[in-house]
């Protein structure tokens, strides 16, 4: 009898929508100097935290003044800013100021630690909002892009921030690939209520996963993973009632992606396009390229950044500027 009651309770919980409890308020900086002060404050706190891996500190590539265009790169779940270092350099050489902040709970020396367990969807949303606040002082036009978990944050920002010129979520983690599309939201709702536990990215090799970068975590907290799903489904509900705030959106997906649920990403694009208010486009890397979910990390042995990076530069329309470094 108790088992039946427990199963019924789980079923009920799975179909009660979960969403972020509070939405942060934008507080954009007005000048380049203010943006620099905020970044330096973040970096000071990171350097003072001896538990953090120095390679994972928040990064700012700047031309020492506010420029025409700036871009914020939001790294993937369990990775850190180093993931975007090489691609960030490419945009910097094309005249951008480049901001690559460290997501909450990420970048610790103890790659098997439990820092991720403390992170909430509200904290992730506030972090993303604050990153765009800083970017407003770095460039006249602000682009935001992120991969996987960072892509989910980019989707949320595209719905929320009207001072984003271009939002480019890449393989955003809005749903789990191996779970049927209709069951993804009940799955996310259920995870929110279950006790937290850790899962290996590679259950066979565990901490010796050859595809995990030396600074990234080889395992993840189920609740931390669910933070991105909660944000994603909250954004989808908001988008059904209101047009996205960003001036333009480009969703990038990977047809060979084994991790994210591409039909959910496609539905997100379709919902946005139904409003017919802002420009919303999509690009998909072909399946025959057999690209991994992590399109960005250049040291990953199965990656093809020789193909991916030039295509991203083309999609972002980032021409080399005279006098840029």
* pLDDT tens sequence across 277-313: 889 999 999 999 999 999 999 999 999 999 999 999 9
- What values do phi and psi take at 62, rounded to 5? -130, 145
281-287-293-294 Cα dihedral, nearest 10 degrees? -80
Instruction: Let me know: does 61 contact 138? Beta carbons within 8 Å.
Output: no
Q: Does any domain span residue 225?
A: yes
Tell me the pTM. Answer: 0.92
CA-based nearest residue to 223, from 259, 203, 197? 197
The total of structural domains in the chain comes to: 1
- Is residue 325 in some structural domain? no
Q: For position 177, what pLDDT does the model report?
A: 87
Q: Is the pLDDT of residue 176 over 70?
A: yes
Measure the CA–CA gap between 197 and 201, rounded to whole angstroms: 13
SS3 category, 145: strand
Range of the domain at 260: 2-316
- Span 40-63, average pLDDT: 98
322 domain-assigned: no
Gap between the Cα atoms of 84 and 89, Å rounded: 8
Domain CATH code at residue 23: 3.40.50.1820
Tell me what the mean pLDDT of segment 212-239 comes to: 94
- Whole-number pLDDT of residue 10: 43
| pLDDT interval class at 18 (50, 70, 90) | low
Query: Is residue 323 a part of any domain in this protein?
Result: no
Q: What average pLDDT does the segment 210-230 reach?
A: 95
- Predicted confidence at residue 91, as pLDDT, reads 97
């Amino acid at each position: 009898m108790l088992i039946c009651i427990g199963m019924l309770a789980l079923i009920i919980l799975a179909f009660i929508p979960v969403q972020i409890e509070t939405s942060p308020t934008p507080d954009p900086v007005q000048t380049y100097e203010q943006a620099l002060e905020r970044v330096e404050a973040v970096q000071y706190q990171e350097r003072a935290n001896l538990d953090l891996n120095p390679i994972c500190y928040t990064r700012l590539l700047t031309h020492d003044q506010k420029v025409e265009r700036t871009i914020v790169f939001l790294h993937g779940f369990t990775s850190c800013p180093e993931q975007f270092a090489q691609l960030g350099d490419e945009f910097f050489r094309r005249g951008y100021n480049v901001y690559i902040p460290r997501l909450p709970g990420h970048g610790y020396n103890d790659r098997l630690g439990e820092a991720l367990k403390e992170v909430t969807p509200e904290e992730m949303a506030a972090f993303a909002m604050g990153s765009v606040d800083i970017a407003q002082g770095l460039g006249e036009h602000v682009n935001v892009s992120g991969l996987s978990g960072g892509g989910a944050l980019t989707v949320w920002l595209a719905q929320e921030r009207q001072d984003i010129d271009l939002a480019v979520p890449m393989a955003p983690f809005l749903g789990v690939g191996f779970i049927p599309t209709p069951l993804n939201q009940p799955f996310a709702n259920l995870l929110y209520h279950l006790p937290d536990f850790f899962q290996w990215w590679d259950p066979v090799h565990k901490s010796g996963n050859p595809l995990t970068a030396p600074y990234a975590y080889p395992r993840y907290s189920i609740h931390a993973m669910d933070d991105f799903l909660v944000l994603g489904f909250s954004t989808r509900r908001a988008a059904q009632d209101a047009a996205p705030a960003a001036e333009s959106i480009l969703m990038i997906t990977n047809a060979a992606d084994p991790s994210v649920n591409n039909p959910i990403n496609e539905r997100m694009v379709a919902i946005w396009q139904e409003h017919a208010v802002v420009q919303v486009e999509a690009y998909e890397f072909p399946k025959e390229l057999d690209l991994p979910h992590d399109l960005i990390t250049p040291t990953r042995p199965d990656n093809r950044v020789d193909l991916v990076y030039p295509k991203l530069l083309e999609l972002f329309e980032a021409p080399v500027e005279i006098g840029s470094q």
